[in-house]
A and B are shown apart, each in its own frame.
Chain A
Amino acid sequence: MRYLPHSEAERAEMLGVIGAANIDALFSAVPAKALKTFDLGLPAHSPEFLVEAHLKALSAKNHAGADGPFFVGAGAYRHHVPATVDHLIQRSEWLTAYTPYQPEISQGTLQMLFEFQTQVAKLTGMDVANASLYDGSTGTAEAVLMARRLTKRNKIVLSGGLHPHYRDVVKAYLKDDADLECLSASPDGQGDILDHIDEHTAAIVIQTPDFYGHLRNMKAAADAAHAKGALLIVVITEVVSLGLLEAPGALGADIVVAEGQSIGNALNFGGPYLGLMATRKEFIRQMPGRLCGETVDAEGQRGFVLTLSTREQHIRREKATSNICTNSGLCALAFSIHMGLLGEAGFTRLARLNHAHACKLADALAAVPGVEVLNDTFFNEMTIRTSQPAAELIERLAARGILGGVPVSRLEPSDPSVANLIVLAATELTTDADISALCAALSEELA
């Protein structure tokens, strides 16, 4: 077995040093009725080329993004990742390092996290960011709990434009909680969330661009929340939008949560991704997740350490701010490298290119008979209403080799009002030919 270094002779020699007659003697604490009493019936070990063949066969059964026109978004976006990013994150010293609890031999990871936190703080316009969470959806649930701790209030209001999966995760985290108010889906971009804020409200949660692609007025939301002593949690699923849109921190956000996948990370069928979280500096001690901070070593040299760990489970146990014990380190590295390659100049160009392609897409879709574009505002994503039910239409497009977006009914199956809605995204990878192919297919299908 290629991964196991011992020969049988070495195993025997080691057992001799231990003074054990055989390997089973080392398992003597296991009740006899549970030790090796079974036949697993699993295949035996296999050479690398056979494993590879098996996985390749499974992979080949899937329609990859590069196989045809692609307009799927709704919380995960297909962007170009520079070759440098994937090369660097596979370096042994990044890929196979542990959590940097021993800072003297983890300065690479720690300095990178410090740079990452700086990038996220700048992007969101907030004072501080943590070293990443699992993803945007669980980050949103954590932000809601953080807001409750900060305000010592319980009521949480989720906007109807919040990604339905994110809403569902918050619901599962707050099971049976009467203080959670989920507003119904708002595909038209009009929300009445501001009327739901009262003196019991801990936070309102608003996504922008929202699930349907509309850009939401954060300033008005922040003012309305703050007037009642509540917090504004801003959720962003397409982080590239921050290259073109105002930073939530400049508009009054108290906690910003974003899905960072778009920068540096492939679609991966949904994971691993990375959650970004940023907040005001006075809220740091209630923020979940790892934080990296600057300090000096015994010789006065600048260095970095994990810090404020008195918030965390390994120190505080049942009094911790969260049970989180990990960040999304390698995904954060990919994000940070890609963002470092882009810089302000590249990131701005990337955002403009996404918006330009989305404008082309919106204009082309609006010209298709049977299609109505619902958005007046958008970044790179929009919602259309079609003259036929969306789920079947998307399947028919897939049969033509076109991944034409996400039927809203897939995420909101119990809401008949969304049955004819499709959410579509364009990115820098979307070509004019892709848009033409989509519109031609839609025209035929809807004729």
Chain B
Amino acid sequence: MSMNNQGRPTGVGTSGFSSTSGSSLLPNEPLLFEIGDTEHSGVDLPDVTITMDRLGGFERKTPLDLAGLTEPEAMRHYVRLSRLNHSIDSGMYPLGSCTMKHNPRLNEKMARLPGFSDIHPLQPVSTVQGALELMNELSHWLMTLTNTAAVALTPKAGAHGELLGMMAIKAAQTAAGQGHRTIVLVPESAHGTNPATAAFLGYSVKPIPARTDGTVDVQAVKDALSPEVAAIMLTNPNTCGLFEPQVIEIAEAVHAAGAFFYCDGANFNAIMGVVRPGDLGIDAMHINLHKTFSTPHGGGGPGAGPVVLSAALAPFAPVPFVRKGDNGLELVEHETGESLGRITAFQGQMGMYVRALTYMLSHGGDGLAQAAQDAVLNANYIKARLSHVFSVPFNDYPTMHEALFDDTFLAGTGVTTLDFAKALIDEGFHPMTMYFPLVVHGAMLIEPTESESKQTLDRFCDVMEELALDAKSGNSQRFTSAPMNAPRRRLDETRAARSPILKWERPVEAMKPAE
């Protein structure tokens, strides 16, 4: 049984709502179920009479017990809740590997045009020629920016794209009588999705160590290659923020061994319009439209992860895809030849295609290259401004779009990377990515993106410097108790995991507090 902060038992699952705290502008907000009830509704609909004779005896007998709100109540509930969130529109998000850039509102407006938002995925192809044209145009941009032979638009997110790319590799090798290849090489610095994806498809994962300069050990790759190796999954620029200087050599060695090169494109923002991954020898790479091409993160999705493919993998691309036909554009929806099949219902994330293409057309080829260069400039600027106070694990190469620090500078202060990051919250910044990549102790990975002005970067660096000096001066209290000024203090994650409460339960009548 849980207790609310007056010490009263409140129900089976949930602690009580406290209306006594929170500031006047950031009031605590009760749960939807604590405000609404099953009678109220914010949608006017006629109450029609129906007969049950076509329901086969399967009509609902279990009460729904869903709370409803009238429109003014709903508006206030969701506006109040929204104010408890940090967002890119309200402040910088220096999250390494996440590319939190500005989300242009033109994108949103275009995605809501009825010819895109109000069309059904299975209406006749003759009635959606403009949508297919848009998909074609987006494909052209993606293939041009990467210098690749094909693109599969349908993956729903980056990890889904990884899955597709590796499925294509598996299909190609099976078709070539190379289905016995069961090992995938994954550098230790990789995103967690890489080994998870390989394992998902039944591959065994062989880690490749990083060199002391933060790049992949080319010799270790060559030593690990064998007739059993199906592919390498390599992130470039890598998760340490470095461009792999020997990426072409790695690609050549991988290909010579009969394996494929899967590139994790999470960091494409550093090089779009400046370097084409196809020129580096990649066979497949997903592109996170929600990172590089500014579709909104939306509090955790939806993403979109189209995958570009080399000529060797193009025949194995999934359905559906768009093709020019005699009567305009066609949608190829069924396995033809060697296609690996279908990885999602319908045509993928059309709403994200519209937003991404809008972003591309706004920037143009020149603007995309400028954006990549500004992203790299901003990261190097942060690194240059902070490296006299913070410890830099890798300094042999300029960084790309991310600045990576380790926790050496905090040694002996009693302040952890986590504490330090939480202190940033009190200064109005979202914390940087922490403890990733795993190859760096107490990592702090900072990705400013091209969207931040020099003024914002300077303020961020001033705050970072001031915090570092304060930590070194012994003021650990400021860090270990942070955040103080957020809607919540640090939350007890252990408690949440130990006895999970995953939904609201109606307080049991018998457990009502005695007044």
Contacts and interface: CB of A to CB of B under 8 A. Distances in A.
Interface string B119-147: 11111101111110110010001001101
Interface residues of B, number: 211
A369 interface: no
Interface stretch (A198-206, A225-233, A311-319): A311-319
Contacts of A152: none
Interface in A229-285: 242-247, 249-250, 259, 266-274, 284
Interface residues of A, number: 209
Contacts of A249: 62
Given A112-B81, A327-B301, A15 B342 contact: no
A62 B129 contact: yes
A441 interface: no
Interface string B432-463: 00001000000000000011111000000000
Contact of A169 (B192, B296, B345, B431): B345
Contact of B380 (A20, A59, A90): A20
A342 B55 CA distance: 22
6 contacts: A5-B451, A88-B79, A242-B64, A270-B350, A271-B348, A320-B196
Nearest to B399: A26
Interface string A392-416: 0011001000010010001101000
Contact of A271 (B28, B108, B141, B302): B302
Contacts of A431: none
B366 interface: yes
- 8 closest pairs, A vs B, by CB? A343-B68, A270-B346, A59-B115, A61-B130, A330-B298, A42-B365, A270-B121, A92-B89
Given A76-B122, A97-B85, A294 B127 contact: no
A282 B346 CA distance: 33
A176 to B, nearest CB: 7
A191 interface: no
A268 B500 CA distance: 35
Given A44-B364, A176-B174, A341-B71, A346 B86 contact: no
Interface in B39-82: 39-43, 45-48, 50, 54-56, 58-69, 71, 74-75, 77-79, 81-82
A60 interface: yes
Among A31, A290, A339, A413: residue with most chain B CB under 10 A: A31
Contacts of A55: 110, 113, 134, 354, 357-358, 361
Interface in A348-377: 348-350, 352-353, 355-356, 359, 362, 375-377
B489 to A, nearest CB: 4
Given A38-B276, A247-B60, A344-B66, A29 B79 contact: no
A75 B87 CA distance: 33
A267 B345 CA distance: 13
Contacts of A15: 377
Contacts of A114: 31, 502-504
Interface string B297-329: 111111110000000000000100000000000
A317 B119 contact: no
Contacts of B118: 64-66, 78, 266-267
A293 B496 contact: yes
